[in-house]
Amino acid sequence: MATDDDRLREYRGKRDFGRTREPSGREAGAVAGPRFVVQIHDARRMHFDFRLQVGDVLRSWSVPKGPSDDPHDKRLAVPTEDHPLEYEDFEGVIPRGEYGGGTVIVWDRGTYEPLSHDRRGRPVDFAESLERGHATFRLHGSKLRGEYALTRFRGDGERGEENAWLLVKKAEGHAAAHGTPDPRRARSVTTGRTLAQVAADDGR
Ligand code: MN
pLDDT digits (tens, 9 = 90+) for 13-54: 888 777 666 767 665 544 578 999 999 999 999 999 999 999
pLDDT digits (tens, 9 = 90+) for 117-127: 888 888 899 99
Please report whether residue 6 resides in a domain: no
User: Any idea what the Cα angle at residue 105 is, between residues 142 and 193, rounded to 5°?
Assistant: 80
DSSP state of 20: -
Please report whether residue 140 resides in a domain: yes
Please report whether residue 22 resides in a domain: no
Residue range 160-184: average pLDDT?
86
Domain count for the chain, please give it. 1
Q: Which residues of 1-39 are buried (b: 16+ CB within 10 A; e: fewer)?
A: eeeeeeeeeeeeeeeebeeeeebbbbeebeeebbbbbbb
57 half-sphere exposure, CB direction, 13 A CA radius: 8
Q: Which residue has the higher pLDDT, 111 or 203?
A: 111
Taking the centre of ligand 1 as the mean of its atom positions, its distance from the CA of residue 82, in whole angstroms, is 12
Question: How many other C-beta atoms are found inside a 10 Å radius of the C-beta of residue 40?
Answer: 27
Please report whether residue 77 resides in a domain: yes
Taking the centre of ligand 1 as the mean of its atom positions, its distance from the CA of residue 198, in whole angstroms, is 16
pLDDT digits (tens, 9 = 90+) for 107-149: 999 999 999 888 888 889 999 999 999 999 999 999 999 999 9
Q: Which residue has the higher pLDDT, 17 or 191?
A: 191
Question: How many other C-beta atoms are found inside a 10 Å radius of the C-beta of residue 135?
Answer: 24
Please report whether residue 14 resides in a domain: no
Please report whether residue 172 resides in a domain: yes
User: Any idea what the Cα angle at residue 45 is, between residues 43 and 46, rounded to 5°?
Assistant: 75
Longest dimension (CA), the chain: 56
Q: Which residue has the higher pLDDT, 62 or 18?
A: 62
pLDDT attached to residue 160: 61
Collect residues with CB below 5 Å from ion ligand 1. 41, 49
Cβ-in-10-Å burial (0-12, 13-18, 19+) of 106 comes to: buried
Taking the centre of ligand 1 as the mean of its atom positions, its distance from the CA of residue 61, in whole angstroms, is 8
Average pLDDT of the chain to the nearest whole number: 88
Three-class DSSP category at 65: coil
Find all residues with CB under 8 Å of 166, minimum gap 6, and list them. Answer: 74, 75, 76, 77, 149, 150, 151, 153
Domain extent for 142: 32-202
pLDDT attached to residue 25: 66
